[in-house]
Amino acid sequence: MLHSVYYSLLLLALFALGVQAGIDPSKQRCAFTKGTWCTNYAKQEPVPWKPAPRGSKECPGGCNNVGRCNYDTGLCDCPAGWTGLGCKTPQKRPCTHKQRKGDPGENATQPYSHIGPDGRDLDWTNVPHPQYYSRCGGICDDDVAICYCDGPMGRIPAPPGSPPGTPPLQVGRPLMTMAHAPKTTWDGRKAFGEVDYNLVYGPRGYCNVTDPEWVPNCGMDGLWGRTCDEPIQMFCPGGCAGHGRCYLGYCICDEGYYGHDCARRKAGLPLLPSTIPTTRWLAEVVREPPAALEPPPAPTRKRPLIYVYDLEPMYQAKILQYRVTPRWCVHRWHVWPNNHTEWTDLWVYAMDTLLHESLLVSPHRTFDPEEADFFYVPHQASCLPFPIGAWADFPWFPDAGGPRTRQMLNMVIEAVQWINATFPFWQRRGGRDHIFTFTHDEGACWAPNIVNNSIWLTHWGRMELNHTSNTAYLLDKYDRDTPTLLQPDGFVHLFKGHPCYNPDKDLVIPAFKAPGHYASSGLVGAPTRERDLLFFFRGDVGKRRQPNYSRGVRQAIYRAAKEGDWATKHKFFIGGHDDIKGEYSNMLGRAKFCLVAPGDGWSARMEDAVLHGCIPVIIADGVHAVFESILDIDDFGLRIPQDQVPRILDILLAVPARAIRSKQAHLGRVWQRFRYASIPGLSEELKRMQLHNKPRREAEAAAYANATAAAAAAAGGGAAAAAAPKLPLPQPFTGDPTEDDAFDTIMQWLYSRIPHTRG
């Protein structure tokens, strides 16, 4: 034990001595990284920070009073409900139900709508299958396919003939799903809903009185409270920069401001103060983009410089408008009554909006595409399959039918075509300097060939060239081809021929874990725990899954552990919530080894393990784990080939104590790269956690120092070894949370990719 303790202390002592001796700090912060990407970033010569260029191209017709003008392109960005030149063409998303027969593509463009011109359902007793969420027991807002109450507490649309963009006279209480709609008509005939008619429309019904006897779960972005009447802040990336107001993911910019986050100012107009500093709930979370300030906030800044596309809203903002429910498709949301931000990783694909927002408020953002090193494409494809596609009969890319991945693939193709038709930058380098995120279960396996040259930030590092879908969720099976009316040749040929991930140009990045997810980890200064569990995994172990789920890895380990009673004999825990009790974070903090194995594709268990100081046991042949191409994973993790799964217990029991302590010490030097902290609100939350835990951390350090001194005073041999304390490794990171966090790591790596994009 003394050897491992002294080894760990030696690491810390050498680091301190290196700083005191004037050793290059970049070598210290870049320890345990592969190659020179980290040190080169730290040593780079900053570039001048020039004022942002501003556009002056006018848009036709004032964008019909509904859209916002992009003064760079002269094109209108239209919100949900509108499209076309000048936002003059209605683009409705009615509360409909599609009736399909035979082939999935048959009648795909011929939905049968149950909604009349007044927004009311034409026939509650028509109950076809399968049922979609968007049937309406009240009045439908056919801009976003959301149903509201009919009656005194219901929706009152703008009067007929009102100018476009006129808000409703009364928003009304939402009836979000069939679980909120009546199950009978007023005269007792069977309807499509699931709730007693009187609870909704009776004398004391939800839609009729101020204080009803029954209320549904609100579940609506922008509304809160018992009866879903209280307005709250909606989510928009960057909080509309304090120069606009947010409507369900779409920023309505103040006059003269433009862009998807209203950060840009039309040429010739003076900059106005952002309202973010005076809006407490936004000031807690975001800031006005540094790239928008004049003069710039600093003389110089570091590369990479990244231009974030203001995409056609159908590929970004409209998708967020269609999502409706607050925690779907996003990494944070506002809660009633004080608009406080809650960070959420309930939506496992939240990296899409997190990375987008991080870039918007980052010093790495540039408004000048001519100086940009990279172009970021903030598409929301991972939000499209669910809930968007399950909610209503629009949008489809290009038509209905087939697996959900077909919709995502075609949406990305359309986004690239729009970029290529609007800007010259895709053709300039063949897309090599364009960045896409692919966060869905099987990452970029289905990514269209049109983006093959681009950089893919993904959660799934599967590397073989010839691959088939391994998901047990058939709606996502990307190699199940489906001819449709508009794609009679199917869609597989549009992506076939590339790996899911190419380590030469792509990067496996961490999924987002909200700070509360690891608040009890010793790495953020929470009380340390003895690592008394050999192994821990709690989650889906394939009990009700197809055999190919997790490549059979989780199932095999679970069966062996149950049959051998490993939990009792070896403190080897694996199973679902019915098998293993106890607080999840606590169990992770007590375990020496934690399983990292696939699910339907990627699984965020690497992040769980590392953020809790647990040695990740990676079992996924031919798959890179998070940051495996740029960090020395073997220094802090353990790889086991899939064919060695039957021997996993023997392998773990054979790992020497010294090796375990070494890997734990290495975890303490890299773990912060697996958490996201670059958004101001995330950084402040983590600082509060560090401050809260500081007294405990200092007390533990003092106790350890005293115990170490006592052990050293006791002369030699076994007695000293027995008396030596167990060092609570790895140690918490106490510096600036934004330094070398996951976002910063991605920026450092991108800097190293600049030369490769210029070939």
Instruction: Determine the pLDDT at residue 131.
Output: 53
Give the confidence band of 721 by pLDDT, cuts at 50, 70, 90: very low
| Interval 632-642: pLDDT, tens | 999 999 999 99
| Interval 242-270: pLDDT, tens | 999 999 999 999 999 999 999 999 999 99
Give the confidence band of 532 by pLDDT, cuts at 50, 70, 90: very high
Q: Is 389 a residue whose pLDDT tops 50?
A: yes
| Interval 564-597: pLDDT, tens | 999 999 999 999 999 999 999 999 999 999 999 9
Strand order of the β-sheet with 507-508 is: 306-308, 374-376, 434-438, 455-458, 507-508
Distance CA 457, CA 437 (A): 5
Higher pLDDT, 232 or 388: 232
CB 629 within 8 A of CB 503: yes
End-to-end CA distance of the chain: 53
Give the confidence band of 394 by pLDDT, cuts at 50, 70, 90: confident
Instruction: Determine the pLDDT at residue 339.
Output: 94
Q: Is 373 a residue whose pLDDT tops 50?
A: yes
Instruction: Determine the pLDDT at residue 257.
Output: 98
| Interval 464-506: pLDDT, tens | 999 999 999 888 999 999 899 899 999 999 999 999 999 999 9
Residue length, the chain? Answer: 759
Query: Of the ranges 244-248, 437-441, 652-656, 724-728, which one carries the lowest mean pLDDT score?
Result: 724-728
Alpha-carbon distances, residue 744 vs 19, 108, 676 (angstroms): 22, 44, 9
pTM more than 0.85: yes
Instruction: Determine the pLDDT at residue 722.
Output: 47
Q: Shortest CA distance to 448 belongs to which of 497, 400, 490, 390?
A: 497
What residues contact 535, with CB distance under 8 A and at least 6 apart?
566, 570, 571, 572, 573, 574, 591, 592, 593, 594, 595, 617, 652
Instruction: Determine the pLDDT at residue 345.
Output: 92
Q: How many CB atoms lie within 10 A of CB 152?
A: 13
Instruction: Determine the pLDDT at residue 528.
Output: 74
**Percentage helix, strand, coil, to 5, in the chain?**
35, 15, 50
Q: Shortest CA distance to 619 belongs to which of 591, 590, 657, 648?
A: 648
Q: Tell me which DSSP letter residue 87 carries.
A: G
Higher pLDDT, 161 or 409: 409
Give the confidence band of 32 by pLDDT, cuts at 50, 70, 90: confident
Q: Is 643 a residue whose pLDDT tops 90?
A: yes
Instruction: Determine the pLDDT at residue 697.
Output: 67
| Interval 304-335: pLDDT, tens | 999 999 999 999 999 999 987 888 999 999 99
Cα 1 to chain center, whole Å?
41
Instruction: Determine the pLDDT at residue 724.
Output: 47
Residue 536: phi, psi to the nearest 5? -145, 135
Distance CA 58, CA 73 (A): 8
Residue 321 burial by Cβ neighbours in a 10 Å radius (0-12, 13-18, 19+)? buried
Distance CA 87, CA 274 (A): 27
Cα 298 to chain center, whole Å?
30
Domains defined for the chain, CATH in brackets: 518-674 (3.40.50.2000)
Residue 438's H or E segment, with its range, is strand 434-438
> In the chain, what is the greatest distance between 2 CA atoms, to the nearest angstrom?
93
Alpha helices in 235-362 (DSSP H): 280-283, 317-323, 351-360
Q: Shortest CA distance to 311 belongs to which of 124, 471, 157, 436?
A: 436
| Interval 658-680: pLDDT, tens | 999 999 999 988 999 999 999 99
- Among residues of the chain, what percentage have pLDDT more than 90? 73
Residue 316 burial by Cβ neighbours in a 10 Å radius (0-12, 13-18, 19+)? buried
Residue 593: phi, psi to the nearest 5? -125, 140
| Interval 101-114: pLDDT, tens | 333 333 334 445 67
Q: Is 72 a residue whose pLDDT tops 80?
A: yes
Q: What six digits make up the tokens of 225?
A: 């409270």
CB 631 within 8 A of CB 572: no
Mean pLDDT of the chain: 89
Q: Shortest CA distance to 274 belongs to which of 291, 293, 259?
A: 293
The string of DSSP letters for 181-224 reads: SBSB-TTS-B-S--B-HHHHHSTT-TTT-SS-S-------TTEE
Average pLDDT over residues 140-166: 91
CB 638 within 8 A of CB 647: no
| Interval 419-472: pLDDT, tens | 999 999 999 999 999 999 999 999 999 999 999 999 999 999 999 999 999 999
Give the confidence band of 27 by pLDDT, cuts at 50, 70, 90: low
Alpha-carbon distances, residue 7 vs 522, 632, 738 (angstroms): 20, 19, 29
Q: Is 525 a residue whose pLDDT tops 90?
A: no
Q: What six digits make up the tokens of 306?
A: 């990244």
Q: How many CB atoms lie within 10 A of CB 124?
A: 23
| Interval 735-755: pLDDT, tens | 788 999 999 999 999 999 999
Average pLDDT over residues 403-429: 96
Give the confidence band of 24 by pLDDT, cuts at 50, 70, 90: low
